[in-house]
Each structure stands twice: as C-alpha cells, then as structure tokens.
Amino acid sequence: MKQRNYIKMEFPARSVNEGFARAAAAAFAAQMDPTMEELGDIRTAVSEAVTNAIVHAYPDSAGPVQMRLRILEGDLLEIMVRDRGRGIPDVKQAMEPMYTTGGEERGGMGFTIMGSFMDSLRVRSAVGRGTSVTMKKRIKTKAGE
C-alpha cells in the first residue's frame, strides 16, 4: 500500500510521555478529517500501546519507545508502537483479557482495548529484543464528499 504521509518519533518510556504520544497521534490523524469518535479511538489505542511499553518493556529503566504513524491509500491510518525492552514470552497469552504481568494494579485489558478501537491489531515480540504493536484504522469519509 502506498503511503501518503508519515511521522516517526522516539521518546523515553516515562509516563509523562504517554499524553504527548496520544496528542501527537491525534494531531497527525486530524489531517484525515476524522470524526470526534474516531479521534477518541486513536487516542485510546495509542495510550494503551504506549502505556504497555512503559510498564512492561522496561520495568527498571526508561528505554526508548518509537512511534510511527502512516496515512496509507484508502484512508487507512497505521500506528506502530515499538520498544526494545524485555519482550513478551507468549503473545497469545498476553492478548487474553485480564492477563497481566504488571501486578494487581493492572487490569490486563490493554490489547483487548486496542483491538476494540482499531480495525486491526498485530503484536510481534521477541524475548530480550522488544515488542512491536501495529494497529490500523480506516477513517470513514464524510457523506457527500
């Protein structure tokens, strides 16, 4: 698929950067003229993906988190969040609702939430090498345009 526009950014895995990533993703997606609901979906999914990287990838440090957004043909927004952290031993298990490695204060719903707000979700991970979360959402064109 041909890309029409993209951004790439990298930031340390610190909780203060989650809000920035969410706002940056929404600002980039705004050029596609999404509805408020679609913008909310994008913000929520990015928030969950970045929070997962902050909490799970680097439990004892603030390693790098990379975020790439692309606008593809067919009004498709692709969001990729990647870390170089400890990785996920069993991705299938990690994607189960209520599964968490983050302690009792974590709900274990991150991947479930991402999947419910996006049209597609792909998670790839290698222990000791990191995790990549790729999400896609088709932005509906307004009626009459």
Spatial CA neighbour of 81 closest among 31, 3, 10? 10
145 is a domain residue: no
* Residue 77 within a domain: yes
* Residue 121, SS3 per DSSP: strand
pLDDT of 145 over the 50 cut: no
Residue 60 domain flag: yes
Beta pairing partners, 131: 125
In a domain, 76, yes or no: yes
DSSP letter assigned to residue 31: G
**33 lies in some domain:** yes
CA distances from 97 to 5, 32, 93, 122 (A): 34, 31, 9, 16
By C-alpha distance, which of 38, 42, 47 is closest to 15? 47
d(CA 27, CA 30): 5
- Residue written as token pair 């999947």: 115
Total domains in the chain come to 1
Helix (H, G, I), strand (E, B) or coil at 88: coil
Q: Which of the residues are catalytic?
A: 48, 52, 106
Domain CATH for 96: 3.30.565.10
Q: Is residue 143 part of a domain?
A: no
pLDDT tens digits, one per residue of 39-85: 999 999 999 999 999 988 998 889 999 999 999 999 999 999 999 99
Q: How confident is the model at residue 20 (pLDDT cuts 50, 70, 90)?
A: very high
How do residues 97-142 score in pLDDT, each as one tens digit? 656 655 555 556 778 888 899 999 999 999 999 999 999 999 986 6
Say which residue the tokens 């890309």 belong to: 3
Q: Which domain holds residue 71?
A: 3-138
pLDDT of 120: 96
Q: Domain for residue 95, yes or no?
A: yes
* pLDDT for 144 beyond 50: no
Is 126 part of a structural domain of the chain? yes
| 93 pLDDT above the threshold of 60 | yes
